[in-house]
A and B are shown apart, each in its own frame.
Chain A
Amino acid sequence: MSINATLIGQMITFALLVWFTMKYIWPPLFDSLEERKKKIADGLAAAERGQEEILLAEKRAKGVLKEAKEQSSEIVTLAQKRANEIVEESKDAAKKEGDRLIVAAKAQIEQEIQQAKEGLRQEVADLALSAAEQILGAEIDKAKHQDIISKVSNQLG
């Protein structure tokens, strides 16, 4: 229980331990702690920045979406308008074409009527002539009664 030279030995050991701790143990461990603290703080700051950026991007995306919607509805409106125009145009064209066809058909019909009339007149004249020939026989000279025949054929026409 007495104080003796052990004290000196213990003091030397103690001094060595403290020196070693101070030189080789405390600094690396403490630095790694500080560094990790910094890393974590940086990471948190970065995460916060990221969050803010996400908010901004969302806002931007919303704007773009809205613009796109507006544009598309504009395009749809234009397209509808154009479609209406085209329909109108084609309606007009069809009507014109129809009219033209009708006119042409009418002209043709007229022509055919004329032709038929002409044909019929000729035929009736021939028929009348042959009938008269048969009735009158040789009594009637075709040359003598030319004016009567033409008068009749004219009345028939």
Chain B
Amino acid sequence: MHFYKSDLFQYISGSISDTDLLKQLTELGLEVDQSKKEKNDLLVKLDLTPNRGDCFSLIGIARDVCAVNNLKLKLPKFKKQQQNLDSKKTVSIDKKACSNYLGQIIKLNNKGIIPKYIQKTLKAADIGQVNPIVDITNYVMLHTGQPLHAFDNQKIGKKIHVKFPSKRTKLKLLDGASHEITKDYLTISDEKKVIALAGIMGCANSEVDETTQEIFLESACFEPSSIRGNARKLGFQSEASLRFERGVDKEIQEYAINFAGQLYAEIFGGDFSTIFKQSKNHKVKKISISKEFIDSRLGTEIPATKVIKLLKALEFKVESKRNLMELTCPSHRYDIEIKEDIIEEIARIIGYDNLPSIRLKLLASSPEDTSIEKEMLSKDIFVNAGFNEVINYAFVDSSLIQMLGLNQDSIELANPISSNQDVMRPSLVPGLLNNFEYNFNRGAQKFRIFEIGNVFTKEENWKSLAGLLFFDESSSDWSGSFQSSFYDLKKIIDLFFSRLNIVPVYNKASINHLHPGISAEIKMKTKTIGNIGVLHPAIQKKLKLPDIVLFEINLDSIKLPIINSIVQPPKFPGSERDLSFLVSSEIPANDFIKELKKAGGANLRSVSVIDVYQGKGIDESQKSMTFRLFWQATEATLEDKEVDQFVENQINHVAKIFKAKLRS
């Protein structure tokens, strides 16, 4: 709602400085978005909340300003015009959708010229001048909040119906656009045709223009429920629908039609018919509230007399009955329905800054959400490992998903913001690749990035953790730096799992977007919880990217807390042995270690790989692996003989299982 201060003060007996007015409007909940000094006036632009439909009018705003300043509202009275035009109309209304309908035929005797003061008001409100007939309806609407509509009376029939159509209907609106409307649209119709979409816009078939000599002026109250959403469904909002959706004063129709009548008489010199009227009795809203309830919700001690004075200033009728105040709501406050609304009115007029503040002593009793804890812990681990956190949009390009061969069950958005953000991400990988590309193209040479976020498929959603590692060797400095091999990333993933007390297993696997020879699925016990590997060379080529290593882990599959008991280390010295085996290069180290452990007895504490060798001196199909084995007993020092026995068992065992040979 945009207006000039001078227009507003037609209704206020008293004066307020510009600064105070702007401050007060915002503090009343009528937020000043912009204001501008212009000549001797002040242009004010309000950003109104949907509940204050009453303030889409100068009178409505004036009411609030008067209430907070204890000033009197000046409402001019408009007399009915002399009704000497003998024309007939009948009106029927759908009482559920329309509570009040007034119409008057006005014969326009002269060509009208819109005076400057009306032009100024319309311009302030960003409503352009259309033609003198329509300009008057808009002017009255800006003052009263009542949308009026003028039909060319010669283009419509004798019977006016406010009704829902019985079938789908095609129509052309005033803005020239054609629409097909369903039975949900309330219409104004005559005997033959729809002449307006009630509360939204008139139809082209009854439009007024320069040649119009007689108008049928409508001033009606349509229920918000019959208007809401309909304009939006057609793809626009009109000044009328804006107001009807929010609720228009049920008692202002006559005032508005007489206000307009006076202007038509002044500007056109009109002859007027009687006012044709149909209405139903509307219920006056009543609310009972006690001082105790007000104080209990605001934490205040406000005297009842102050409350009553304040509500009366807002045009509530107040009757005191024992401890209760019986309030009758003013008809223009469509938004007031319950006790809490009254509390807001009181707080608003007193001013929130003038209300007390009290420290809350309540403590919560419910347990933490471990999912958030897990996310925080994961972030800490990766940041400490030198990773930079990124945050990507949750929607990605479906063609990228397809190219990466990621889950095909991604969920499509019905109304994506752009075609390259059309599906919910089934993985964090596409986002990380985008981040890589963006930064790589801007000269970044080192990458350790990670993200934690939800991913989505048609079957389920889960919280995912993913990261990417890249290091451009040529950017290495004198100290060397991190590398970007599979094993460099694996080391970090192991670090992550060890912080969570999890021992993961890496099994070679085929994952669409990863290099089939340099990738693994990560398993916890028997459950696959993620993957790690080098980006598939074919994808790399298509995206023109260098070698990068990636991982992704399903965080939801890890349950916190995982608590291990801490065991006291044995006091007796242990024995260490190094063993080298020749074995087929196909055998995964992890399988080999498993078998060494099986045959190594209960006191075998650790097996580590200290060397892997393939090449000169060894058959091409073979590799040499050197293990360091460590035994230690809890009750006594192990004797060499005992350890020798374990070693012999192991050598025999792996010879049988893997055909492994001990290297001398």
On whether the two chains bind one another, the answer is no
